[in-house]
Amino acid sequence: MDDNEIKITTGEGAGPAPLTPVEVPPVSAETAAAPAQPEFLAPDSLGPSPIPPGVEGQGDGALKKILMVLLALIFIGGVGALGYFVVFPLVFPAKTIPAVQPPVNQPPQTALAPHQSYLTTPPASVSDIKLSDFKYLTIATALQNESFNQLADGQFKEIKFSGNKGQVPFVGYLEGLSPALTALGAGALFEDDFTALLYYDAAGVWPIYISKLKSGVTPESVTTAFKQAEGVMDLANFYISSPGVFKGFKGGKLSAYSTRYNVGSQSGASFNYGMFGNYFIISANFNGLKGVLPLLGL
């Protein structure tokens, strides 16, 4: 095989290529003794640091945002405080709990004494009527129902009134018939107990009421008080049937007793009142007034 032929080898048996030696510069004694020092930069030799584009001015914007957030928080807090301390108490006022007062020692209420008739001579008849209240309609209905139980002309029937608590006090009964008499202050004038009667005659049935004055009350003070109340008394309420039209009060006499009377237009209707001994009497009929005095021992 001549020299021009190409030999293909696998490289097996060939050694590594020879390395070219690197020349190291010689080290002087000064260089070997002194270690390498970092380069020192003077402050005034430093220029402004480069700022990336788009970053310049972002610090002012962030500060503004922080201030706005703080102002918003302050505003919200102020509004909340205003609502809590001012508006809310006005819309929903606090409920005050009343102070508990110590119990007051009330004087014990004395019960009414049992009813005792003022009559010294028994009447022809006696009836018991219980009232649910002292209103006029209640009293009028009870008397009308009782009036149907007829007696002979000139006779008397005693009515014993009672209520839910026992005896009916005269003042409560009187003010039930004529509410205007409340202003009279009758509670300071009369005892609680009283005697009620129905007088029968040919003209009708006529109620009569007998009471006593409280201790220390003078007859003159009672007649003066009633005389002042004559214009407001509901006279028709003292009758079982309509008395008609009244003509006006006048002064009268019955035996030795002074009276005040007012005649109605219906036959037999004559409203009379006055002091008779220890008794104050109201009668819806003059003949009934005359007939009851002997029953009282007068």
Q: Mind listing the pLDDT tens digit for each residue in 89-130?
A: 555 555 554 444 444 443 444 556 688 999 999 999 999 999
Tell me the domain boundaries of the chain: 125-295
DSSP string, 231-290: TT--GGGG-SS----B---EEEEETTEEEEEEEBSSTT-EEEEEEETTEEEEESSHHHHH
**Which phi and psi (to 5°) does residue 181 adopt?**
-75, -5
Reply yes or no on whether the pLDDT at 47 is more than 80. no
Residue (of 204, 210, 196, 195) closest to 151 by Cα position: 204
DSSP element (H, E) containing 75: helix 58-82
Task: Output 24 or 297, whichever has higher pLDDT.
Answer: 297
Q: Confidence band (pLDDT; 50, 70, 90) for 289? A: very high
Task: Output 7 or 155, whichever has higher pLDDT.
Answer: 155
DSSP-derived pairing of the beta strands 156-163 and 125-130:
parallel
- The rounded mean pLDDT for the chain is 79
Query: Would you state the pLDDT for residue 85?
Result: 60
Query: Would you state the pLDDT for residue 61?
Result: 66
Q: Confidence band (pLDDT; 50, 70, 90) for 88? A: low
Query: Would you state the pLDDT for residue 40?
Result: 45
Task: Output 266 or 74, whichever has higher pLDDT.
Answer: 266
pLDDT in tens, 4-31: 444 444 444 444 455 455 454 554 444 4
**What share of the chain in percent tops pLDDT 90?**
57
Query: Would you state the pLDDT for residue 71?
Result: 72
Task: Output 79 or 240, whichever has higher pLDDT.
Answer: 240
Query: Would you state the pLDDT for residue 182?
Result: 87
**What share of the chain in percent tops pLDDT 70?**
64
